[in-house]
Amino acid sequence: MYGYHGKLLFINLSTGNIEIRPLKEEDARNFIGGPALGAKILYEEMPANADVFGEDSMVGFVTGPLNNNRALFGGRYTVVSKSPVTGGWNDANAGGYFGPMLKAAGFDAVFVNGISEKPVYVFVDEGRAEILDASDLWGLTVSETEAKIRAKHGEKINAALIGPGGENLSYFAAVINDGHRAAGRGGTGAVIGSKNLKAVVVRGNLSTEVADRKKLVAANKSISDNMKGAAAELATAFGRFGTGIFYIPSTLSSDASIKNWGGAAGIDYTEEEAYLVSSANLEQFVLKKYNCSNCPLACGAIMDVPSERWELANIDRPEYETMGAFGSQILNSDYESVLRCNLLCNEYGLDTISAGATVSWIVECYENGLFTKEELDGIEATWGNGDSIVALTELICKNEGIGQVLIKGTRYAADHLGKGHEYLVVASGIEEPQHDGRLAYGVTRTYQYDPTPGRHVKGGLGLAPSGPDFDYSDTGEADLQGVVGTEVLNSSGLCMFGNMVSPPDALLNLIEAVTGFQYSPEEFRKLGTRMFNIRHAFNIREGMTRKDFTLSKRFYESNPPYEGPIAGVKVDHERLADNFFETIGWDKETLIPSLSSLEELGGMEAVIADFYG
């Protein structure tokens, strides 16, 4: 096969067994890679209703065909598992260099099950793999762990690893590579920690053949030309400011969370306050830019920030989601505290979206008299209090005091403590990212009913504001089209932000150039729909139905806020869902795909056997 090694690595930590199996060309064509290929493998290899922290639970590190072959923006890989939060499917992707290096190590994916008796890491080196002792790594932060691994194996390695957050089984523990690139959502870091697995370390210099090198060069050139032409302004902004270019406009439009989704944009949190946290202000501290594999944008930045409170030298510039999570969401304009929280989460291996949302929830509960200072370890958790925000984040990261409860996320904390449910803003228990469904109505369907709830990088109607004249009558087809494109994008290994500055045909041209797979428009539609369905099928097999996919009321009804751009908005999110289910061919109550829709897609034989015998 072109674009693939055709090899999958399976490791059982209970038995120590290491096995190499072939990647079927049929599976490569039908599921491409990333989350979809991962879902196909876990659906077949992992028994239904397996204990998420048990031996049968499996985690996968899955590349895409665009990794490690000079395709522009081809730097993303995906981590897949069952989620400890939802009890269903989970996937999360990250950039950097781990995905391409895993490919260079000779495998298209690594899958791990079982539980080791002691801390270990997996070392994959040019087609070989071994399980090594990690006792000296357990308890270390991300940077400490990576430094020790590099000291042992040299600088030409890459590692996907967990910090203390994963070891402590945080429900929002991330998988970190390259020091600051996080596959953050859904708690897969906890699944890895439950296996006593500290890291997957990869090294190699193996390549895969490309089907049509000339076509790949042409596709790359079309992207470069577009970045100099139609997308020049956006490409320049990404390179200068990173994803933080969205922060100020999003806080003013009501896209970003204001006051735990209960505040008014531009009123409770002003443009002047947003500027302090934004990339525009932080630009003064930038030391150097960096990029992910084969990326010409270089949207990352390392900063040196003078501070009398914390050590903020040689730190990573936060992404948009982190700015919102620790900034506007908590009415916080203290940029030093935002940077400190970002650093803490990176070092301890926690998702900044859920971490910031958890602090925001505590603050609103405290402001409304649900918690005392004594219950919060002496912290005065008030809106915009940067020192308190950092103190709470440190307790979560270190699993100390109230942090021992908060480390499991807001829904768990509300249930465990018996209060604060009215201030939760979650999708099936997953804290919401920084895009408001009361501004872009389609976000409610995506957050509620994507196989991985509460995700801003999944497909649907998009983030464009809906407005008062929004037409609910026929949204299903546009919703499915958005899903199809995003499913293929995420499974290919291409970066979403790179895709934003690429011409519309770039994704398909890159896939065809690398793999040789040809897809007609109808085949492309089936491809993306099949990918979505295999992830969804995992949830249905776990026993989930429509009632299990929930969305907090505050996210679709604007009461509060009483002022601002989304005042008075009420989204009929279930009607949007009905439209989508009808278009994709699912039963509206059980959410089981129809037999005819599965047969038409092809490649879903295992799902058909489970659902229809």
Question: Can you give the CATH number for the domain in which 109 is found?
Answer: 3.60.9.10
Q: Is 161 strand, coil or helix?
A: strand
Tell me how far apart the alpha carbons of residues 349 and 313 are, in angstroms, rounded to a whole number: 19
State pLDDT tens for residues 127-159. Answer: 999 999 999 999 999 999 999 999 999 999 999
Structure tokens belonging to residue 612: 């229809």
Q: Is 331 within 8 Å of 300 (Cβ atoms)?
A: no
Structure tokens belonging to residue 149: 């691994």
Whether 225 maps to a domain, the answer reads no
Structure tokens belonging to residue 172: 């929002």
Average pLDDT over residues 279-296: 98
Whether 78 maps to a domain, the answer reads yes
Give whole-number Cα distances, 223 to 216, 378, 511, in Å.
11, 54, 14
Examine the pLDDT at 568 and tell me if it is beyond 90: no
Structure confidence at residue 74 as a pLDDT band (50, 70, 90) = very high
Q: Which of 99, 158, 55, 183 is closest to 457 using CA atoms?
A: 183
The β-bridge partners of 21 are 8
Average pLDDT over residues 161-167: 99
* Amino acid identity, position 122: V
Average pLDDT over residues 440-454: 97
Strands 109-113 and 7-12 come out as parallel
- 302 burial (CB, 10 Å; 0-12 / 13-18 / 19+) is middle
Say if residue 163 is in the same domain as residue 51.
Answer: yes
Q: What are phi and psi of 224, to 5 degrees?
A: -60, -40
CA dihedral 220, 226, 229, 232 (to 10 degrees): -100
Tell me how far apart the alpha carbons of residues 295 and 495 are, in angstroms, rounded to a whole number: 9
The β-bridge partners of 560 are none
| Boundary (domain end) residue, out of 144, 173, 203 | 203
State pLDDT tens for residues 325-340. Answer: 999 999 999 999 999 9
Say if residue 304 is in the same domain as residue 282.
Answer: yes
CATH of the domain at 417: 1.10.569.10
171-180, 319-328, 452-461, 464-473: least confident range: 464-473
| Boundary (domain end) residue, out of 384, 406, 431 | 431
Tell me how far apart the alpha carbons of residues 16 and 173 are, in angstroms, rounded to a whole number: 25
Peptide bond into 296 cis (omega under 30): no
Tell me how far apart the alpha carbons of residues 92 and 174 are, in angstroms, rounded to a whole number: 9
Share of the chain above pLDDT 90, in %: 96
CA dihedral 305, 275, 354, 568 (to 10 degrees): 170
Q: Which of 316, 16, 337 is closest to 176 using CA atoms?
A: 316
Say if residue 66 is in the same domain as residue 87.
Answer: yes
Residue 60 makes CB contacts below 8 A (sequence gap 6+) with 38, 41, 42, 78, 79, 80, 81, 109, 110, 111, 112
Residue given tokens 């308190």 in the structure block:
388
Q: Which of 102, 94, 112 is closest to 4 using CA atoms?
A: 102
Residue given tokens 């990404």 in the structure block:
238
Whether 232 maps to a domain, the answer reads no
Whether 426 maps to a domain, the answer reads yes
Q: State the pTM of this model.
A: 0.97
Whether 508 maps to a domain, the answer reads yes
Examine the pLDDT at 564 and tell me if it is beyond 90: no
What's the confidence (pLDDT) of residue 156? 96
Say if residue 263 is in the same domain as residue 372.
Answer: yes
Say if residue 279 is in the same domain as residue 408.
Answer: yes
- DSSP secondary structure letter of residue 51: -
Tell me how far apart the alpha carbons of residues 176 and 346 are, in angstroms, rounded to a whole number: 7
The β-bridge partners of 62 are 78, 109
Whether 233 maps to a domain, the answer reads no
Q: Is 105 within 8 Å of 126 (Cβ atoms)?
A: yes
What's the confidence (pLDDT) of residue 85? 98
- 69 burial (CB, 10 Å; 0-12 / 13-18 / 19+) is buried
Examine the pLDDT at 380 and tell me if it is beyond 80: yes
Say if residue 333 is in the same domain as residue 475.
Answer: no
Tell me how far apart the alpha carbons of residues 187 and 326 are, in angstroms, rounded to a whole number: 19
Q: Is 340 strand, coil or helix?
A: helix
Examine the pLDDT at 560 and tell me if it is beyond 90: no
The β-bridge partners of 423 are none
What's the confidence (pLDDT) of residue 468? 83
The β-bridge partners of 89 are 82
Examine the pLDDT at 559 and tell me if it is beyond 70: no
State pLDDT tens for residues 506-555. Answer: 999 999 999 999 999 999 999 999 999 999 999 999 999 999 999 998 88
Whether 59 maps to a domain, the answer reads yes
Tell me how far apart the alpha carbons of residues 67 and 560 are, in angstroms, rounded to a whole number: 45
State pLDDT tens for residues 448-468. Answer: 999 999 999 999 999 888 988
Say if residue 358 is in the same domain as residue 454.
Answer: no
Q: Is 327 within 8 Å of 338 (Cβ atoms)?
A: yes
Instruction: Give the total number of structural domains in the chain.
Output: 3
CA dihedral 290, 294, 296, 302 (to 10 degrees): -10
- DSSP secondary structure letter of residue 173: B
Say if residue 448 is in the same domain as residue 427.
Answer: no
Range of the domain at 597: 442-612
Say if residue 91 is in the same domain as residue 43.
Answer: yes
| Boundary (domain end) residue, out of 168, 203, 238 | 203
Q: Is 566 strand, coil or helix?
A: coil
Examine the pLDDT at 346 and tell me if it is beyond 90: yes
Radius of gyration from C-alpha coordinates of the chain:
23
When the pLDDT of each residue in the chain is averaged and rounded to a whole number, the result is 97
Say if residue 173 is in the same domain as residue 314.
Answer: no
Q: Which of 174, 168, 172 is closest to 194 using CA atoms?
A: 168
Q: Mind giving me the DSSP string for 283-337? A: GGGEEEEE--TT-SS--EEEE----SSS--SSEEPPPHHHHHHHTGGGT---HHH
What's the confidence (pLDDT) of residue 558? 66
State pLDDT tens for residues 195-235. Answer: 999 999 999 999 999 999 999 999 999 999 999 999 999 99
Examine the pLDDT at 363 and tell me if it is beyond 80: yes
Say if residue 347 is in the same domain as residue 411.
Answer: yes
Whether 235 maps to a domain, the answer reads no
Say if residue 417 is in the same domain as residue 448.
Answer: no
Examine the pLDDT at 324 and tell me if it is beyond 90: yes
CATH of the domain at 510: 1.10.599.10
State pLDDT tens for residues 86-117. Answer: 999 999 999 999 999 999 999 999 999 999 99
